[in-house]
Amino acid sequence: MISTQTQTIQPRFNEPMKNRGSYWITTFGCQMNKADSERMAGILRNMGYEEASTELNADLVLYNTCTIRDNAEQKVYSYLGRQAQRKRSSPHLKLVVAGCVAQQEGEALLRRVPELDLVMGPQHANRLETLLNQVDNGQQVVATDEHKIIEDVTTARRDSKICAWVNVIYGCNERCTYCVVPSVRGKEQSREPKAIKLEIEKLAQKGYKEITLLGQNIDAYGRDLPGITSSGRRQNTLTDLLYFIHDVQGIERIRFATSHPRYFTTRLIKACSELPKLCEHFHIPFQSGNNDVLRRMARGYTIEKYKRIIYKIKELMPNAAISSDVIVAFPGETESQFKNTIQLIKEIGFDQVNTAAYSPRPNTPAAKWPDQLPEEVKVNRLKELNILVEKIARQRNNRYINQIEEILVENINRKNNEQLMGRTRTNRLTFFPKRNHQNKSYSIGDLVKVEINEIRSFSLGGVIAK
């Protein structure tokens, strides 16, 4: 077993290597993991691997893992158990664990699953080829050392041909007391604006219409990059980046996630209201509706500040959609503090809220605190919250009825191939028949005006507008 040191990636352009067999990637967790998996798939294809038809006949199996909550972490172990058994009868099989569980557990994972060939943290995703070459030399590899993320030149194997994730900042320097991300994804590393724009230009040339800029804490983009303006303002902020990439021809829509209220500025809100391609959907986690809980979470803002951000957005973009993340039953959260969360959700009227009960995570301060709440309280508060969130999402959808919405067609409805599916600029999934009243049919990649005539809690239905 060797622990790797920093090595540069030798690019190889469009000349796939000999057939190395087939690969299968299973991705758990967030968009950052999905984007990492797309890049790792691109590297494997460039090395000469083909995508396997099923997990059980792949020659290389890679699990890109998540540890944001305990149940997410536990998932990978059941998958690994099956593959470890398979490996005992097929020794050529390569088993790889990537992502946040790999970073969190490192060598301990090899003790738990000795059949593993490679354990690699998120910062090493772009180095997959180098690490697999070491495996091919007969080594068992653990790559979890802090690492400067190198621009990857291989072409990501993207799931969509229309919408693309574009990483702009990796890692997080915040220290939210419940969160495992900083310890598994490391310090913030912003990509250079020019490298980001080049990637977006290449995507546009390939026909991509929508990009989503990604970062765990995207509003902090650029704070590790040099550059202060004459007025002392930081250059290379997310707002500057949005202006810089906005003119890429062919890209119709720009989105970004995930935001942090601590860094969400009025300048950013103004830019989003001025730049036509910026979609009117903002994902800004508030986590709790109570200031004492926010203080103990070390979130770095108050509910009053949060509301000011949302009301400024609604002032400049009245139709904007707001989504969020919330944690209930954080250690010590009282019933009345929980009611503050309920109250905030009613007051803001979120289009969507991702809900979770607090889950103690390794290497996080809150996991060691004495006032952990019982499972029953977690289950009850989550249940009450989910009922409310769904009710409000449906109420919020009423505003779409009989409205004409612009939909970017992303796919054919798998359940009905006479229907297309895509999202509004406000990120609402919408289904509609692919032909208009003159029997003209539309397809993936088209921007279509749809008249909304049906609402559900988290999606819409309609017909192509006359």
Binding site residues, ligand SF4, CB under 6 A? 172, 174, 176, 179, 181-182, 216-217, 260
Distance CA 321, CA 427 (A): 8
Cβ(461)–Cβ(448) under 8 Å?
no
Measured from the CB atom, is 176 or 293 closer to ligand SF4?
Answer: 176
Instruction: State how far the Cα of 401 lies from the Cα of 328, in Å rounded to an integer.
Output: 32
CA separation, residue 350 to residues 107, 201, 281, 392 (Å):
42, 34, 11, 7
Query: Which ranges constitute the DSSP H helices of 255-302?
Result: 266-274, 291-297
CB of 422 to ligand SF4, least distance (A): 29
Three-point CA angle 419, 423, 424, nearest 5°: 120
Among candidates 260, 261, 271, which has minimal Cα distance to 305? 261
CB of 178 to ligand SF4, least distance (A): 7
Least distance to ligand SF4 from the beta carbon of 340, Å? Answer: 19
The DSSP letter of residue 64 is E
Q: What is the DSSP string of 149-209?
A: PPPP-SPP--S-SSEEEEE-EES-----TT--HHHHH-S-EEPPHHHHHHHHHHHHHTT--
Nearer to ligand SF4, 290 or 426 (CB): 290
- The CB-of-260 to ligand SF4 minimum distance in angstroms stands at 5
Q: How far is the CB of 23 from ligand SF4 (least distance, A)?
A: 29
Whose Cβ is closer to ligand SF4: residue 128's or residue 218's? 218
Shortest gap between Cβ of 217 and ligand SF4 (angstroms)? 4
The token duo for 356 is 């979770």
Which residue, 188 or 210, has its beta carbon nearer to ligand SF4? 188
Check: CB of residue 462 under 8 Å from CB of residue 406. no
Q: What is the DSSP letter of 213?
A: E
Considering the complex, state which of residue 215 and residue 462 has its C-beta at the smaller distance from ligand SF4.
215
**130: three-class secondary structure by DSSP:** helix
Tell me, what amino acid is at 465? Answer: A
- Looking at the Cβ atoms of 256 and 400, the one nearer to ligand SF4 is 256
Q: Is 21 left (phi over 0), alpha (psi -120 to 50) or beta?
A: left
User: Nearest approach, Cβ of 381 to ligand SF4 (angstroms)?
Assistant: 19
CB of 29 to ligand SF4, least distance (A): 12
End-to-end CA distance of the chain: 65
Kindly tell me which of 42 and 215 has the beta carbon lying closer to ligand SF4.
215
Least separation, in Å, of the C-beta of 12 and ligand SF4? Answer: 33
> Of the two residues 216 and 426, which places its CB atom closer to ligand SF4 in the complex?
216
Give the nearer residue to ligand SF4 in terms of CB position, either 245 or 322: 322
